[in-house]
Amino acid sequence: MNISSKPFGKMPSGEIALLFSLENDHGIVLNLTNYGGIITSIYTPDRNGLAADVTLGYPDWEGWLTNEAYFGCMVGRTCNRIGGAKFILKGVEYKVSANQGEYQLHGGFEGFNKKLWTAKPSEKSDSVGVTLEYLSVDGEEGFPGNVQVTVEYSLNNRNEVTMEFLAVTDKPTPVNLTNHSYFNLGCESAGDIYDHQLILFADHITETDAYSIPTGQFLEVKNTPFDFTRTHSIGERIHELNMGYDDNFVLRNQTGKLAPAARVYDPVSGRLLEIFTTEPGVQLYTANWFDGSLIGKGGTKYRKHNAFALETQHFPDSMNHPEFPSVILRPGKTYNSQTVWRFSVVDGI
């Protein structure tokens, strides 16, 4: 196993972001930067042993610096949406930045995805990794409390990419972290993901309104396009929906322990991605707004449904729904979340 680093790009402040490369003994390479905690690429072999990048992204530093599509980044303080860009804690209303119309999306205008994190590489007997740290100060994007955040990315010889998120605070505050990588298991330039086969370990989704804000109700997936309790191709029923999938699936596991969340298989390459998480939910998003204007790696024009994201998370807008699992972190407690991506090659699922 091997880990290396090199300069990646210059921040507007003059600081230099680094690019780390983690490689295991089976040909999997994970590249990430301490700017935004972004995973810039994952190379993994297909059934013929040929490695390809299975994550979408930009061809140059300037694209990663703006990263309007949230490719591969760390999302916080809270991922997904906050309805009305406000919430109440102990009788006090907090108004957070509304960067998407009247609500907040993915932490605001300059969330964790726009920060330069301190970085420390690590080598263990069975893995290589990078530990990132960032202090989110009281009032940042409207959130209360100073929050110290630690994220550890690691790669092992079981072909697993592990992300562990830790946070502590000095005031009660919402915390809901995720990584926003977009995958195409054929390769990042392979086109649509309609033939990718998907299983989700979820029997319900959280119902949303016209602005994708949860209503507080849970909907059964049975006999709907959201039913991935057994294998379906992503494209089989996607056109029954308005734009595509952008929904939070309520995972069966609600124990907080690591458990299966999803399995995705590309029958062309043979690549399988299995996702395990301690989180109660996962957001399936199918790149619904790509229209060919975004130029990706190698000059590829990314188009609608060219990728999927499976963002492990607590439910969207949870701070405004007491019936949802709580996202409020309190002083003296530690936020701890873990997600694992396991890559392999198989003949079907």
Active site members? 180, 311
Please choose, from the candidates 200, 218, 221, the residue with its C-alpha nearest in 3D space to the C-alpha of residue 208.
218
Ranges of H-type helices in the chain? 61-66
Place of tokens 């932490």: 107
State both tokens at 155: 């790669």
State both tokens at 158: 């079981």
CA dist 16 and 5 (Å) reads 12
Long-range pairs, 20-28, Cβ under 8 A, ≥24: 20/119, 20/121, 20/130, 22/128, 22/129, 22/130, 22/153, 22/154, 22/155, 23/128, 23/155, 24/128, 24/155, 24/156, 24/157, 24/159, 25/1, 25/157, 26/157, 26/159, 27/51, 28/155, 28/159, 28/343
93's enclosing H/E stretch is strand 92-95
CA dist 342 and 349 (Å) reads 14
Around Cβ 223, how many Cβ atoms within 10 Å? 7
| 269 in Cβ contact with 232 (< 8 Å) | no
Report the residue count for the chain: 349
Q: Dihedral sign, CA of 280, 243, 38, 22?
A: positive
What φ, ψ does residue 326 adopt, rounded to 5°? -70, 145
Please choose, from the candidates 106, 109, 102, 110, the residue with its C-alpha nearest in 3D space to the C-alpha of residue 86.
102
Half-sphere exposure of 171 (CA within 13 A, CB side): 13
